[in-house]
Amino acid sequence: MAAAGNWCLIESDPGVFTELIRQFGCSGVQVEELYSLEPSCFQELKPIHGLIFLFKCLAGEEPSSNVVNDSRLQEIYFAQQVIQNACASQAIINLLLNCEHPEVKLGPVLSEFKSFTANFDPSSRGLALSNAEKIRKVHNSFSRQQIFEIEDVKIPEKEDNFHFIAYVPVKGYVYELDGLQNGPIDLGKISDGADWIEVVRPEIEKRIQRYIAGEIHFNLMAVISDRKQKYKARLAEISSMNNNEQYAAEVCHLEALINEEETKDKQHKLLECKDFNIIGKGCGRKEKEKSGKEDVAIETAVMAERFELLAIGLFRSVEKDNMIGFRKSVLVEKDDWDRMDDFAG
């Protein structure tokens, strides 16, 4: 791959990805993590503009035979990856530049990049992306920081290779956008009246089933409409109505949902703080002591939730319950759950 400036590894975290998108200048979207492939889990997040999938690269994987090479290439934005460590931003940008939902605003940086590269082939687009200084600086501002480990947690001798790809619906078809491929991969046509998620779910299940049951080697995130923005728009709509007292219960519910999203934003900013790093295996007590009581409470709550969801996914097979067990490329062993008590204490 070309060496056009250094691109850093970033964590596979929905909060990090949401903030990354916002720093690119794009608005109207956020990223949420999926812990199950059950239809109800996707239903809760609608509208879903695309999916980002992180997986461990396996030896002997064959290139797809369904690469698009017809006139549809004019309708799909696809840039190849030509530089190492850029696959997270590559997947996000490939996804966003194919999104035509009215709530999604690309912003100046991504709009200008899309316009500038509109007539480029996938390889030239990838080269242009690798040399896009504004995008690279934003990407590198989310570089993975020093990991603080709980005592006695085993550290792998070497890191596995992980890769991000995107899934998007475009003009009635669903495509896999993998920067390491020669072009978009056609996953199938969306039937009339059907949800595009029904086309992509079997493909994700197929990928997950390649791994040994119980291993944490994948991560799935959905790019959805900004929930807080949607809730506030509905509140404004109610406020403009006459006799809006009848909507009092809905107003209370919407205000609670907005508060929940704001709390989540605080958690995301805490996780992104360069003096403070949590990636699913705990953090150093000295780092905890630097923060206030509120930050420690948020940190503990986030860790407890992550460990609980990981535990569910880790000990259930995909075939049985459609559960996804994952967390940022880190394999968490069963003995590590016992350390949660020490952390929370």
pLDDT at 74 over 80: yes
The share of the chain scoring above pLDDT 70, in percent, equals 68
What pLDDT was estimated at residue 289? 45
Mean predicted lDDT score pLDDT of the chain? 77
210 — pLDDT class (breaks 50, 70, 90): confident
CA 150 – CA 307 distance, rounded (Å): 14
CA 6 – CA 137 distance, rounded (Å): 10
Averaged pLDDT for residues 65-80: 92
Candidates 172, 185, 190, 163; CA nearest to 78 is 185
How does pLDDT run across 121-151, given as a tens digit for each residue?
A: 999 999 999 999 999 999 999 886 544 333 4
pLDDT at 2 over 50: no
Contact 164, 17 (CB under 8 A): no
Phi, psi of 34 (to 5 degrees): -110, 130
What pLDDT was estimated at residue 223? 98
Higher pLDDT, 233 or 168: 168
Residue 49 known to be catalytic: no
Angle at CA of residue 212, ends 206 and 216, nearest 5°? 90
Averaged pLDDT for residues 302-322: 43
What pLDDT was estimated at residue 199? 97
What pLDDT was estimated at residue 63? 65
What pLDDT was estimated at residue 56? 83
What pLDDT was estimated at residue 59? 65
Token pair listed for 321:
């319950």
Residue 273 known to be catalytic: no
Averaged pLDDT for residues 145-172: 65
**Catalytic option among 26, 87, 99, 283:** 87
Q: Which residue has the tokens 């006459």?
A: 242
Q: Which of the given ranges, 219-233, 237-251, 312-326, has the highest pLDDT on average?
A: 219-233
Candidates 101, 139, 95, 124; CA nearest to 6 is 139
Q: Which residue has the tokens 């993975």?
A: 144
pLDDT at 344 over 80: no
305 — pLDDT class (breaks 50, 70, 90): low
What pLDDT was estimated at residue 341? 43
292 — pLDDT class (breaks 50, 70, 90): low
What pLDDT was estimated at residue 151? 40
pLDDT at 209 over 80: yes
Q: Which residue has the tokens 């970033």?
A: 10
In sequence order, which residues have a C-beta less than 8 Å from that of residue 55 and are 6 or more positions away?
162, 163, 165, 207, 217, 218, 219
Architecture in CATH of 14-225: 3-Layer(aba) Sandwich (3.40)
CA 78 – CA 186 distance, rounded (Å): 13
What pLDDT was estimated at residue 262? 80
What pLDDT was estimated at residue 112? 97
What pLDDT was estimated at residue 343? 41
212 — pLDDT class (breaks 50, 70, 90): low
Between β-strands 218-225 and 29-34, what pairing exists: parallel, antiparallel or unpaired? antiparallel
Burial code of 163-177, b = ≥16 C-beta within 10 A, e = fewer? Answer: bbbbbbbbeebbbbb
Contact 142, 13 (CB under 8 A): no
**Catalytic option among 26, 49, 99, 163:** 163
